[in-house]
Protein backbone atom coordinates (compact mmCIF):
# COMPACT_ATOMS: atom_id res chain seq x y z
CA UNK A 1 0.00 0.00 0.00
CA UNK A 2 1.29 3.44 -0.91
CA UNK A 3 -0.27 6.59 0.52
CA UNK A 4 0.79 10.11 -0.37
CA UNK A 5 -0.14 13.59 0.88
CA UNK A 6 0.56 16.68 -1.18
CA UNK A 7 1.09 20.16 0.26
CA UNK A 8 -1.68 22.48 -1.00
CA UNK A 9 0.54 25.52 -0.44
CA UNK A 10 3.58 24.26 -2.39
CA UNK A 11 3.03 22.96 -5.91
CA UNK A 12 0.26 20.52 -4.89
CA UNK A 13 0.48 18.69 -8.20
CA UNK A 14 4.10 17.56 -7.55
CA UNK A 15 5.24 18.39 -4.00
CA UNK A 16 4.75 15.29 -1.82
CA UNK A 17 5.23 16.03 1.88
CA UNK A 18 4.26 12.57 3.08
CA UNK A 19 4.19 9.15 1.52
CA UNK A 20 4.26 5.79 3.19
CA UNK A 21 4.78 2.21 2.18
CA UNK A 22 4.32 -0.93 4.22
CA UNK A 23 7.25 -3.31 3.79
CA UNK A 24 7.19 -6.63 5.67
CA UNK A 25 4.79 -5.21 8.24
CA UNK A 26 6.81 -2.02 8.87
CA UNK A 27 5.68 1.45 7.88
CA UNK A 28 8.32 3.39 5.92
CA UNK A 29 7.60 7.10 5.65
CA UNK A 30 9.04 9.26 2.84
CA UNK A 31 9.00 12.92 1.91
CA UNK A 32 10.50 15.34 -0.59
CA UNK A 33 10.03 18.19 1.86
CA UNK A 34 13.33 20.02 2.24
CA UNK A 35 15.47 23.04 1.66
CA UNK A 36 14.03 25.07 4.55
CA UNK A 37 15.28 27.15 7.49
CA UNK A 38 18.97 26.96 6.68
CA UNK A 39 18.82 23.27 5.82
CA UNK A 40 19.61 22.78 2.13
CA UNK A 41 17.80 20.23 0.01
CA UNK A 42 20.80 17.88 0.36
CA UNK A 43 19.80 17.27 3.99
CA UNK A 44 16.23 16.10 3.48
CA UNK A 45 16.60 12.78 5.29
CA UNK A 46 14.42 12.92 8.35
CA UNK A 47 13.48 10.39 11.02
CA UNK A 48 9.79 10.44 11.91
CA UNK A 49 8.42 9.23 15.24
CA UNK A 50 4.67 8.85 15.68
CA UNK A 51 3.24 9.30 19.18
CA UNK A 52 -0.12 8.17 20.52
CA UNK A 53 -0.93 11.60 22.00
CA UNK A 54 0.40 15.13 22.35
CA UNK A 55 1.48 14.63 25.98
CA UNK A 56 3.79 11.72 25.05
CA UNK A 57 5.20 13.74 22.15
CA UNK A 58 5.87 16.79 24.34
CA UNK A 59 7.55 14.65 27.00
CA UNK A 60 9.90 13.07 24.44
CA UNK A 61 10.62 16.42 22.78
CA UNK A 62 11.47 17.96 26.16
CA UNK A 63 14.17 15.29 26.60
CA UNK A 64 15.79 15.70 23.16
CA UNK A 65 15.26 19.44 22.64
CA UNK A 66 18.40 20.77 24.43
CA UNK A 67 20.99 21.68 21.81
CA UNK A 68 18.60 21.12 18.92
CA UNK A 69 17.53 23.60 16.26
CA UNK A 70 13.81 23.99 15.63
CA UNK A 71 12.72 23.75 11.99
CA UNK A 72 8.92 23.73 12.47
CA UNK A 73 7.74 24.84 15.94
CA UNK A 74 5.66 22.54 18.13
CA UNK A 75 1.98 22.89 17.29
CA UNK A 76 -0.81 21.81 14.98
CA UNK A 77 -0.41 21.53 11.21
CA UNK A 78 -3.03 20.64 8.62
CA UNK A 79 -2.09 16.93 8.75
CA UNK A 80 -1.51 16.51 12.51
CA UNK A 81 -2.92 18.02 15.72
CA UNK A 82 0.61 18.17 17.16
CA UNK A 83 3.94 18.12 15.30
CA UNK A 84 7.48 19.45 15.64
CA UNK A 85 10.48 19.24 13.30
CA UNK A 86 13.99 19.82 14.54
CA UNK A 87 17.64 18.98 13.97
CA UNK A 88 19.44 17.43 16.91
CA UNK A 89 22.94 18.56 17.98
CA UNK A 90 24.44 16.03 15.52
CA UNK A 91 22.54 17.50 12.56
CA UNK A 92 20.02 14.65 12.30
CA UNK A 93 16.57 15.91 11.29
CA UNK A 94 13.58 14.62 13.26
CA UNK A 95 9.82 14.98 13.00
CA UNK A 96 7.68 14.06 16.00
CA UNK A 97 3.96 13.89 15.29
CA UNK A 98 0.70 12.55 16.62
Enclosing domain of residue 46: 39-98
Q: Are residues 48 and 17 in the same domain?
A: no
For the chain, the domain total comes to: 2
Say whether both 79 and 65 belong to one domain: yes
Judge whether 47 and 93 are in contact, CB under 8 Å. Answer: yes
55 and 26 co-located in one domain: no
One domain for residues 46 and 90: yes
CA distance 14 to 53: 31
Tell me the per-residue pLDDT of 30-82, one tens digit each, with 9 for 90 and over: 666 555 555 554 556 778 888 889 999 999 999 999 999 999 999 999 889 99
pLDDT-derived band at 92 (thresholds 50, 70, 90) equals confident
CATH of the domain at 91: 3.30.720.110
pTM, two decimals, is 0.64
User: Is there a single domain that holds both residue 10 and residue 45?
Assistant: no
Distances (CA, A) of 77 to 22, 41, 84: 24, 21, 9
Are 60 and 95 in a shared domain? yes
- Does 94 share its domain with 46? yes
Rounded CA-CA distance 39/56 in Å is: 27
Contacts by 71-76, CB closer than 8 A, 24 or more apart? 71/36, 71/37, 71/39
Q: Which SS3 state, helix, strand or coil, does residue 42 take?
A: helix
Amino acid sequence: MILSLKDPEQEPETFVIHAEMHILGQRVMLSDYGGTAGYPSESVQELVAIFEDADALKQAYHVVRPGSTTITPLGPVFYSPCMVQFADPFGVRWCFMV
